[in-house]
Structure 1
């Protein structure tokens, strides 16, 4: 069984990547998660994973410094918010990368590359790590993070309504449309749930079901019904939403 370690200082990003991996690579076993480089090194020595999904920007020991100590032990995949400036460097060598927020399509490409590379020992990427360090220090670190969708446009009669994502409780797929639910209204838009999932901030919205995206800070509580299913109660909304089995890891303490 192929094993992996996820390293990111932001818990929502770890959750999002874990969910994406469960979707596109269900047989991959995520053995643990680390919130910083020091913890990553300790857990990597303990679990000896085949793959390490490694955030670049972390306090203390950053991802590149961490990779310097681990690249000969596991296949490294950087998970980064840097844009094309830094991505060009990844394209030239043995390392792979995922751009935040991670999409299922891009992760499938990474899975295919890794499945080929897993047949051999991890590549020597020491020189490339040095070049990447210089690149980010000289300019890449100044690159802004990706801009996420902040407004939703919905047609209401003959007018166009602008809805802030802060107003939205959840999105739910509804045949050819997507339902947008706020505390006071329900509207339909033509964007698919997949498009929204790729465009919304993963820190702000979590996918709890293949047909539902929910705003995280709208969640009031998580309970279990008589059938053992996790159910979400939202502030300002009377009905509960079901969390599918594939996304139950988002609420692991339940």
Structure 2
């Protein structure tokens, strides 16, 4: 039996990585569509009627939980029922208590082969259990609460907790995707297409713009000093001026001089 899936993540590199890992551990799986946000995930699910939806928790438009709620309400028919839901998340606060209840599964970023293999085995059992003629192994499945009940609980978790600041950056270094601790980042600088992530040892690239990073990073750790630049406060080694009077930030571990625009010069008064 061909198993079909829709994959949703707003980061292209994450979609590519997960698709590649899924191909390794489940070569028979057919990914019929990829979505860049929650709204697309719902629309593509309605169009393609997959057996599985893999949804990033944090997406624009609709979060993964909000998208899953809408997917669970799509009308079923004789040939299709609500797909199995797998959440993709960089934050394990949702995973431990909620996802282990047997209704949905989860994959922590970056997707590790061993953990993904476990998810695949669970999905295969669930899909087999949907077939009345395939009862073997069904007794081994955990008792599942209704999907809507779990999604409501996840929504409460999301709304009842203050937003957590970003702790890891998933960035492209050459042909590899690396997980970089935010505390090791010296600064972020954006151009029209990419954002450069600079540590003392690595220069990496991401597609996330500065305006999104501002909302996700701890404002006490990262200061915006220019519309295209965020700097780690703990990495600042000095402030100087060039011949035009512009303030320049020196950063330990890097040779770059980061320009401070007029809108942010107040941050360095008294320095």
Partner of 1:47: 48
Equivalent position SS for 2:129? coil
CA contact (8 A) 2:168 2:180 kept: no
CA RMSD of aligned residues (A): 2.8
Give me the whole-angstrom Cα distance separating, in 2, the residues matched to 1:202 and 1:114.
Answer: 31
Partner of 1:245: none
Give me the whole-angstrom Cα distance separating, in 1, the residues matched to 2:122 and 2:71.
Answer: 19
- State the 1:45 CA deviation: 1.2
- State the 1:38 CA deviation: 1.3
Figure out how many residues of one structure are paired with residues of the other and give that number.
161
Give me the whole-angstrom Cα distance separating, in 1, the residues matched to 2:5 and 2:94.
Answer: 27
Q: Quick check: which has more Rg, 1 or 2?
A: 2
Give me the whole-angstrom Cα distance separating, in 2, the residues matched to 1:52 and 1:105.
Answer: 20
Q: State the 4+ residue runs in structure 1 displaced beyond 6 angstroms.
A: none
Taking structure 1 as the reference length, the TM-score comes to 0.57
CA contact (8 A) 1:7 1:54 kept: yes
- State the 1:87 CA deviation: 3.2
Partner of 1:69: 70
- State the 1:146 CA deviation: 3.7
Q: Report the more deviating stretch, 125-134 or 137-146.
A: 137-146
Give me the whole-angstrom Cα distance separating, in 2, the residues matched to 1:57 and 1:16.
Answer: 17
Give me the whole-angstrom Cα distance separating, in 2, the residues matched to 1:20 and 1:83.
Answer: 20
Deviation string for 1:51-83 (max 9, x for gaps)? 000011111211111101213620000001112
Partner of 2:201: 164
Matches within 5 A, 1:135-146: 135-139=157-161, 141-142=163-164, 144-146=166-168
Structure 1 unaligned segments of length 5 or more: list them: 152-161, 168-200, 204-254
Give me the whole-angstrom Cα distance separating, in 1, the residues matched to 2:102 and 2:57.
Answer: 17
Taking structure 2 as the reference length, the TM-score comes to 0.53
Q: Which has the higher contact order (CA 8 A, sep 6+)?
A: 1
